[in-house]
Structure 1
Amino acid sequence: MPKKYIIGIDEVGRGCLAGPVVVCAALAAQGRRFFNKKLGALRDSKKTSPRMREEWFLHLKKTEVIFAIARVSPSVIDKTNISRAANIAAERALKRLLLSADIREEEVDIFLDGGLYVGERGSNIGKTIIKGDEKIKVISAASILAKVYRDKLMSRYALKFKDFNFNLNKGYGTAHHIKILKSKGATSIHRKTFISNFV
């Protein structure tokens, strides 16, 4: 029997050379339709333009979606690995969300995108859905919220590390990013285990 609430969890920044991995856990009422007259139907962040993502971000914050965001630093990514780091962030985001919403795990259906899990491996307390960000709207909401949050964070890093254009590449390995990395060396927000081929 479906629970009263549904939680969607998604991550962004998995493949970046720089910056944290960010995870959002978003909660909504079961059966909630993520539709807006102006914006249309909610879609996964990868299929949404930056301007539309920003508008959805503002819309979701104003509506009855409760969410929590967690991030894991490049140094922890280097010490563990990106998959473990993303799952650490997922666990943190879920705990924060349940606490702020004053809801217990038993009261919600939890869905995670892709390779994410929460709890011990083999006893995932949620259900992991391949391409969940395309299939389950609350995961799409989490995807948008995480993406906009991380993009803003990388734009702030761009002010500190001016040569790297983090406001444009968001830490991904673009040709310009790799060229600057080779000539200038790594910053404090680069993932050392991701850039060993370039520096």
Structure 2
Amino acid sequence: MLTVYYYSVEIVQEAMEKGQKTIVSRKKSRQWYVIGIDEAGRGPLAGPVVVAGICVQNAGGAVSAHRAFSALEFDSFFNGIRDSKKISEKKREEWYRKITKNPAIQWAVAVVDHDVIDRINILQATNRGVHDVYKKLSFSASVPALLDGGLSLPKPAPFQAIIKGDEKIPLISAASIIAKVTRDRIMRKLHKKYPRYRFDLHKGYGTKLHRKLIKRFGRSQVHRRSFQIS
């Protein structure tokens, strides 16, 4: 993973282009405040797409009312964090509690419903969520954001989309966990309303079981009409 706790988007971009695993220079950037953003649920046949953001500041800045992270604290806190898809549900829940209860971390989620996805397409719906999360966490349009690959922000927000960022950048990994846990909880609630579709098992993804149940019962009100079933 690439540690980026007090580096600007430009420094991170340069490191990624060079293939660095760590940033050797410890020169602090003027940007002491950084946001990591990821999503969960772009591919499923039902339910919302959820975008989450994690925001931390380094100890060099003191503009936020939230307590700042030192470099040592950052490394220690995020040690062992991984992309949400590569850890168990139990581990995701543990990380969720750890992240959301830490007073040095600000976090936010945006839930974009299936009807919006059908109206404006999944890419635009996801990036709408990205923008909503960014607005919730940033104090100005100059706060840098690190996004998982494929996500985007409108100008003038400075951002860097990083391919497989959820595997390389701790803040993006943390955001992916918040997004995944939030969405899974939503899908479990939808299972109670639409039990015949077993959203509790597949969370709306196009598994063999899910497709079989759609063919048997038809689409529910929360299925995405713009997505092909077959």
Q: TM-score, normalised by structure 2?
A: 0.77
Q: Could you tell me how far 1:127 is from its partner in structure 2?
A: 0.9
Q: Is the contact between residue 35 and residue 42 of structure 1 (CA under 8 Å) also seen in structure 2?
A: no
Q: Which residue of 1 aligns with 2:32?
A: 4
Question: How far apart, CA to CA, are the structure 1 residues paired with 2:194 and 2:201?
Answer: 12
1:29 is aligned to 2:62? no
| Displacement over 6 Å in runs of 4+ | none
Secondary structure of 2:171 counterpart:
helix
Q: Could you tell me how far 1:2 is from its partner in structure 2?
A: 4.9
Q: Is the contact between residue 187 and residue 199 of structure 2 (CA under 8 Å) also seen in structure 1?
A: yes
Q: Is the contact between residue 18 and residue 172 of structure 1 (CA under 8 Å) also seen in structure 2?
A: yes
- Counterpart of 1:55, as a letter, is E
Q: Could you tell me how far 1:20 is from its partner in structure 2?
A: 0.5
- Structure 2 unmatched runs, 5+: 1-28, 59-70
Q: Which residue of 2 aligns with 1:115?
A: 150
Q: Could you tell me how far 1:193 is from its partner in structure 2?
A: 1.3
Q: Could you tell me how far 1:125 is from its partner in structure 2?
A: 2.9
Count of residues paired in the alignment: 188
Q: Could you tell me how far 1:33 is from its partner in structure 2?
A: 2.4
Question: How far apart, CA to CA, are the structure 2 residues paired with 1:4 and 1:83?
Answer: 30
Secondary structure of 2:173 counterpart:
helix
Q: Is the contact between residue 2 and residue 109 of structure 1 (CA under 8 Å) also seen in structure 2?
A: no
Structure 1 segment 11-160 matched on structure 2, within 5 A: 11-30=39-58, 31=71, 33=74, 35-36=76-77, 41-63=80-102, 64-98=104-138, 103-106=139-142, 108-119=143-154, 125-160=158-193
Q: Which residue of 2 aligns with 1:166?
A: 199
Question: How far apart, CA to CA, are the structure 2 residues paired with 1:191 and 1:34?
Answer: 40
Secondary structure of 1:33 counterpart:
helix
Q: Is the contact between residue 144 and residue 158 of structure 2 (CA under 8 Å) also seen in structure 1?
A: no
- Structure 1 unmatched runs, 5+: none
Post-superposition CA distance 1:70-96 (Å, at most 9, x none): 011111111111111100110011112
- For residues 40 and 126 of structure 1, do their structure 2 counterparts lie closer, same or farther at Cα, with a shift above 3 Å needed? closer
- Counterpart of 1:6, as a letter, is V
Post-superposition CA distance 1:39-84 (Å, at most 9, x none): 9511110111100000000000111211110011111111111111
- Counterpart of 2:38, as a letter, is D
Question: How far apart, CA to CA, are the structure 1 residues paired with 2:176 and 2:165?
Answer: 10
Larger radius of gyration: 2
Q: Is the contact between residue 117 and residue 128 of structure 1 (CA under 8 Å) also seen in structure 2?
A: yes
Higher RCO by CA contacts (8 Å cutoff, separation 6 or greater): 1
Q: TM-score, normalised by structure 1?
A: 0.88
More strand per residue: 1
